[in-house]
Chain A
Amino acid sequence: MSGPLVLAIETSCDETGIALVEGGRAVHANVVASQVALHAPAGGIVPEVAARAHLRWILPVLDEAWTAAGVGWHDVDAVAVTRGPGLAGSLLVGINVAKTLAWVHDVPLVGVNHLEGHIYAAWLKDALQDLPDPSFPLVALVVSGGHTFLAEMRDHLSYRLLGATVDDAAGEAFDKVGRLLGLPYPGGPAIQRAAEGAVARDARFPRAWLGDSFDFSFSGLKTASRRTIDARRADARLVPGEPLPEPLTAELAWGFQDSVVDVLVTKTIRAARDTGARSIVLGGGVAANAALRARLAGEAEALGVPLIVPRPGLCTDNGAMIGAAGARRFEAGERAGPDLEARPSLQLASP
């Protein structure tokens, strides 16, 4: 393995991540301090809480990354940092730490788009893994609590956005419907677990196809879920506050998940066919969903296109994915100045 050694920092949302990545592929360290438990009482991410936790924990995360790495500052070729999109107060903690590190250690600074980081996670390999890189052109589906989009890449750092959610992110829909079902936050893993126990698989939730577009919409599904859950509660004569019986929770969780997975997979496969993709990449926290992975794997195989899904710890927000994208940007000659700013609404293909 060779190529630049990048120290990468990710603080766009509620994970404080710092990694050391060599050549955009080899992960020497990838430490993440996740704040899920801090946000669970609110049932969603509280931006001010996230910013406070990043500032409190970022240096311990940095220390931990160095402990794991077995390399030193003299080996580091660049510092990469997420500049957007994300929560403004969270982004600027990582950005200012990164700028200071670049200044003190006299190494170049590279700004990375968080969304491309999720795609570049597909190039990452843990020590001694010898997996092939994704080949171009590729289609990437990125699904998480903050984003849901489909993009085409014909070469490194070259993106064409095919479609994106027009309202909620898929992960957000999981959280909201999980709450309606009385399941714990975050909703994704809870709904998956509940759905796995479903005996009856009759609940049918609507799919928002939006014509031929590659865009997604989940707000209608959320409303339909609420209506169905209310109707089933009324049928079962439940009083407010009384939990749904477990078999019913399982059936509704299955029906909701099936709708989300169906739309995501159908559009991704169609995008891969339309663009002549030679690989499909799946990323983002929702990529940990077993039903989504299994269905996409099956349909990709039927299409004859390899599917690359990083292991779950590289799908959720982490520093290594920023290091993977940062290495490409560094090698392409990109450098950020000490005035690098947070860009909370940065788009995938924007400069």
Chain B
Amino acid sequence: MSARRVGGGAAPWLLAIDSATSTVVVVAGTLDGEPIAVETFAAGHRHSQYLLPTLERLVEGADLRLDDLGGIVVGTGPGAFTGLRVGLATAKTLAHQLGVPIVGISPAEALLDAAGGGGVGPPVRLWLPAGPHDRLAVDSGVGPRRERDVPADDTVRMEIAVDLPGRAADAALERGRAAVAGLPAALLRLGARRLAAGERDDPERIVPEYVTPPRGMDPRLDLERGLAWSRGPR
């Protein structure tokens, strides 16, 4: 089961994990963001079951070693909470245990980048599901907004939609599929850029980007406080 071996001296590599959409992406690349090996799977509700076996397959299949890992890129959302938590629990534990830098990337930003909307000019608008009924809009260069907060905007250059069958136009869904196909490379590209610029996230603190507060949640909730520690017998 181990991917750690002694000896060697192979080139360091990057690992990117995104589990924000229904397609889980696990990709290995060079430090400058060129893909080496890609594994994807349709998660359904099985992110937790399949992510680690997929990671093992990626590492073994590409003959990589965890000891050579040079950085981790992880999708932080917005997206489905369950998937994001599985991806982040795995990525942050890897970064923490191996002592390698980790950076969070918005998969929406990566999808826009993959669809060619990352540059200047009129915005490209990405639609993502927010629960079973609502949608989130992410315009290139603008953060996620609930559908009802998004003004009608005729300067939008094109729309792409991910994970919204029956809830978006066919052309937008088709562009969404193409963007998902380009997601592994885009994650690596954006992550490699942040890492090369010396940016780092704290593996202990990195959590999903939560756009919607859950039902029953206290609006004053502060995860940084309110924990009572018991340190055991010593």
Contact = CB atoms under 8 A, between A and B. Distances in A.
A68 B214 contact: no
A68 B232 contact: yes
A33 B216 contact: no
Interface string B207-222: 1101000111110110
Interface residues of A, number: 57
A31 interface: yes
Given A104-B94, A338-B52, A60 B232 contact: no
Contacts of B56: 103, 338
Contact of A34 (B1, B86, B227, B232): B227
B93 A49 contact: no
Contacts of B97: 100-101, 104-105
Contacts, number: 160
Interface in A49-103: 49, 51-53, 55-60, 62-65, 68, 88-89, 92-93, 95-97, 99-103
B52 A51 contact: no
A95 B88 contact: no
Nearest to A104: B97
B226 A35 contact: yes
Contact of B204 (A32, A60, A127): A60
Nearest to B222: A38
A38 B204 contact: no
Nearest to B87: A96
Contact of B93 (A27, A53, A60, A100): A100
A324 to B, nearest CB: 14
A106 B1 CA distance: 6
B234 A96 contact: no
B227 A96 contact: no
A68 B233 CA distance: 9
B234 to A, nearest CB: 5
A55 B89 contact: yes
Contacts of B226: 35, 37-38
Contacts of B96: 59, 62
A46 B221 CA distance: 11
A38 B89 contact: no
Interface string B159-192: 0000000000000000000000000000000000
Given A42-B218, A92-B86, 17 more contacts: A32-B232, A33-B229, A42-B217, A52-B210, A53-B223, A55-B85, A59-B96, A59-B204, A96-B90, A96-B93, A97-B93, A100-B89, A102-B1, A127-B234, A313-B230, A337-B53, A338-B56
24 contacts: A29-B232, A29-B233, A33-B228, A33-B230, A38-B223, A41-B218, A42-B217, A49-B216, A52-B210, A55-B85, A56-B223, A56-B224, A63-B204, A64-B229, A89-B81, A92-B82, A93-B89, A95-B48, A96-B52, A97-B93, A100-B89, A103-B56, A104-B4, A104-B98
Interface of A: 19, 27, 29-38, 41-42, 46, 48-49, 51-53, 55-60, 62-65, 68, 88-89, 92-93, 95-97, 99-106, 126-127, 313, 318, 320, 337-342
Interface of B: 1-4, 46, 48-53, 55-56, 66, 81-82, 85-86, 88-90, 92-94, 96-98, 203-205, 207-208, 210, 214-218, 220-221, 223-234
